[in-house]
Chains A and B, each alone.
Chain A
Amino acid sequence: MESVQNADPELHLRLGHWKIDLARQGIRAGIISAIAAAVLVHQGFTEFGVAFATAVLPAVFDVERIELSPGDRRLVSEIRLKYAYRHAFATEDELYGSLPTVARDAINRYDFADFIGRLRAAGLIDETGGHRLRLRDPDDPRPIG
């Protein structure tokens, strides 16, 4: 920040005798966080002030969004087409084995394990002990009753 030399730093702030460089690392993220924090404070979502919420928000917002590819969605559909696998738990091997031959020819067992990992990260898998799992509907990811 460039500031004009003056006795009262608060005066600089109110009168605009300072500049911050948007090109500086982290400044843009800080401004966005401060805006988000102010909105939250305004809406009553936090009893803390803007400065505190700004400090906390980046940690809160550091959430990776897991997106399923069209191929992943098609695989989920292939498995969930079978009533048994839509409602009951099965092992990864059983789920892989349930795929049509043409799908297994295109996706080897290692790629299938990665696919299951992506679903797990996206919260689209229910699991029981014994490594048995059940896929949720990506368009309605609530737990299956």
Chain B
Amino acid sequence: MTTADDDLLAPLLAAAGVADGPVGVAELTALWETVGIADDALRDEFIDTVAGLCR
């Protein structure tokens, strides 16, 4: 089932060249690049937060 969240994330994943499957830091970093915020601390916080979703 396609959800609204899928619709939002799919173009970002495509722009980042990230395949729809298991992702790690490299893929999340690529995803972050598509957001266009040049702030490494914020990027790390974003990655930490996403990782935290799974704990």
Contact = CB atoms under 8 A, between A and B. Distances in A.
A1 interface: yes
Interface of B: 3, 5-6, 8-9, 12-13, 20-26, 28, 31-32, 35, 37, 39, 42-43, 45-55
Given A22-B21, A49-B45, A28 B50 contact: no
Chain B, interface SS category: helix
Interface in A29-71: 29-32, 34-35, 37-39, 41-42, 49-51, 54
Contacts of B28: 31
A38 B42 contact: yes
Contacts of A49: 45
B5 to A, nearest CB: 4
B8 A20 contact: no
Contacts, number: 92
Contacts of B25: 13-16, 18
A34 B46 CA distance: 6
11 contacts: A20-B24, A22-B22, A23-B20, A27-B54, A28-B6, A31-B28, A32-B8, A42-B39, A50-B42, A50-B49, A54-B49
Chain A: number of interface residues, binned into ranges: 20 to 34
A114 interface: no
Interface in A82-113: none
Given A27-B53, A28-B5, A39-B35, A20 B48 contact: no
A51 B55 contact: no
Contacts of B22: 2, 19-22
A23 B13 CA distance: 13
B21 A23 contact: yes
Contact of B5 (A18, A29, A41): A29
